[in-house]
Chain A
Amino acid sequence: MNNPQYPIARKNGLVVQEVPDEVLVYDLDTNKAHCLNKTAAAVWQSCDGKTSVPEIAKFLSSEMGTKVDDDLVWLAIDQLNESSLLEAQVEPRFASQSRRDAIRKIGIASMIALPIVASLVAPKSAMANTSCQCTVATETQDCVLNAACPNTCAEPPGVCQ
Chain B
Amino acid sequence: MLELGNSEAQPSGEVRFFEGDNVKFAFEAYGVSVSVTADSADLGNKLFEVANRAMLGKCKVIDPSLVKAEHEFLLSSRKDGTYDFTSVGEYTTGSGGLRETLELFVRILRIKVSQFAKNCVFVHAGVVSWGKKAILIPGNSGSGKTTLVAECVKHGALYFSDEYAVLSPDGLVHPFARALSITNGGRKWSEDGIPVETLGGRAATEPVEIGAVVLTRHEPGAKWQPERLTPGNGIIEVIPHTIPMTIDADFSLQVLKSAISRAIILKGVRGEASDLAEELLSFSNKELTA
Interface set of A (CB-CB < 8 Å, partner B): 15, 17, 19-24, 26, 28, 31, 33-37, 118-127, 129-130, 138-141, 144-145, 147, 151-152
Q: Are A139 and B93 in contact (CB under 8 A)?
A: yes
Stretch at the interface among B9-17, B146-154, B225-233: B225-233
Q: Are A129 and B237 in contact (CB under 8 A)?
A: no
How many pairs of A and B residues are in contact by the CB < 8 Å rule? 108
Q: Are B232 and A141 in contact (CB under 8 A)?
A: no
Interface set of B (CB-CB < 8 Å, partner A): 87, 90-91, 93-96, 104, 107-108, 111, 114-115, 123-124, 140-142, 188-189, 230-233, 235-237, 239-243, 245-246, 249-250, 253-254, 257, 261
Q: Are A140 and B249 in contact (CB under 8 A)?
A: no
Q: Are A120 and B232 in contact (CB under 8 A)?
A: no
Contacts of B123 in A (CB 8 A): 126
Q: Are A28 and B115 in contact (CB under 8 A)?
A: no
Q: Are B124 and A126 in contact (CB under 8 A)?
A: yes
| Contacts A15-B253, A19-B261, A141-B104; A126 near B241 (Cβ below 8 A) | yes
**Nearest-neighbor residue (CB-CB) of A129 within chain B:** B140
Say which residue of B114, B124, B235, B257 sits within 8 Å of A129 (CB atoms). B124
Q: Are B91 and A140 in contact (CB under 8 A)?
A: yes
Contacts of B94 in A (CB 8 A): 139-140
Q: Are B239 and A122 in contact (CB under 8 A)?
A: yes
CB distance from B14 to the nearest CB of A (A): 31
A43 to B44, CA, bound (A): 59
Q: Are B115 and A125 in contact (CB under 8 A)?
A: yes
A15 to B244, CA, bound (A): 14
Q: Are A127 and B243 in contact (CB under 8 A)?
A: yes
Q: Are A26 and B239 in contact (CB under 8 A)?
A: yes
Q: Are A124 and B246 in contact (CB under 8 A)?
A: yes
Q: Are B90 and A151 in contact (CB under 8 A)?
A: yes
Contacts of B140 in A (CB 8 A): 129
A141 to B87, CA, bound (A): 12
Further pairs besides A129-B140, A130-B141: 9, Cβ < 8 Å: A17-B254, A31-B245, A35-B236, A120-B237, A125-B115, A126-B124, A139-B94, A145-B107, A145-B108
Would you mind naming 10 contact pairs between A and B with Cβ atoms under 8 Å apart? Answer: A19-B232, A26-B239, A26-B253, A35-B235, A122-B246, A129-B140, A138-B189, A139-B96, A144-B90, A151-B91
